[in-house]
Structure 1
Amino acid sequence: MASWECAIDGDDEQFERVEDLIVHQSTAHERIECKVCGTVLPDGYFAIRHAFDEHSRAEYVRAYDATAKEVRRRENAKENIEEDADIREVIDRLEGGSGAI
């Protein structure tokens, strides 16, 4: 049973492995621009990681008009992904250009 769902713009595609989810988010969806600093990056995990590693919660809340519940949901998603994911594998796959799932 798949345990990871994309959820970007209503995408309900599911994945057995979190690494496959991250590669999907990075290759199947348009890149987005960070509303805090203007950096363009893949939507999904990498966007969440950027927001919370590079900016304060307050900056995020102001820029995205986010509620505390929305912030907690994204922080929890980031934490859950980082507990399970082999980010090196994801980066290797993305740099290799295969994007294969």
Structure 2
Amino acid sequence: MWECAIGDCGYATEDAEELLVHQVTGHERHRCAVCGTTVPDGYFAIRHAFSEHSRAEYLRNYEADTDDIRHRETVRRELEAEADVEAVVRQLGGDSRETEATTRA
């Protein structure tokens, strides 16, 4: 079972791809505290943070700790092992860069 962990959403599904679509279409976008890029919240925000920025930048800008990083890296790994992320991106009408980064400050 995949559950949306954005706020107190409560959305749950058996399908990882459905969760990703839900996060992109059902929630406000997230503004990256490191670079100002606006990305879909949830998985795509995690992917952006750890693909585009160092762990140190994440720790500094999100007032996070190493447990926070480990948790988000685990979520990312588990979703990528289960979901066809690129198929979700195509379904949403873009390529992975367009879905991930929509605007920069």
Return the TM-score normalized by structure 2. Answer: 0.86
1:76 and 2:71 are equivalent in the alignment: no
CA-based RMSD of the aligned residues comes to 1.0
Higher RCO structure, 1 or 2 (CA under 8 Å, sep 6+): 2
The Cα shift of 1:88 comes to 2.1
Q: Which runs of 5+ in 1 are unaligned?
A: 97-101
Deviations 1:34-77, CA, capped at 9 Å, x for gaps: 00000001000000000001000000000000011111100000
SS in 2 for 1:8: coil
Partner AA of 1:41 in structure 2: V
The within-5 A match list for 1:34-53 is 34-53=32-51
The Cα shift of 1:6 comes to 0.4
Alignment counterpart, residue 52 of structure 2, candidates 48, 51, 54: 54
Return the TM-score normalized by structure 1. Answer: 0.89
Q: 2:15: which partner in 1?
A: 17
Runs of 4+ in 1 over 4 A off after TM superposition: none
Q: Which runs of 5+ in 2 are unaligned?
A: 95-105
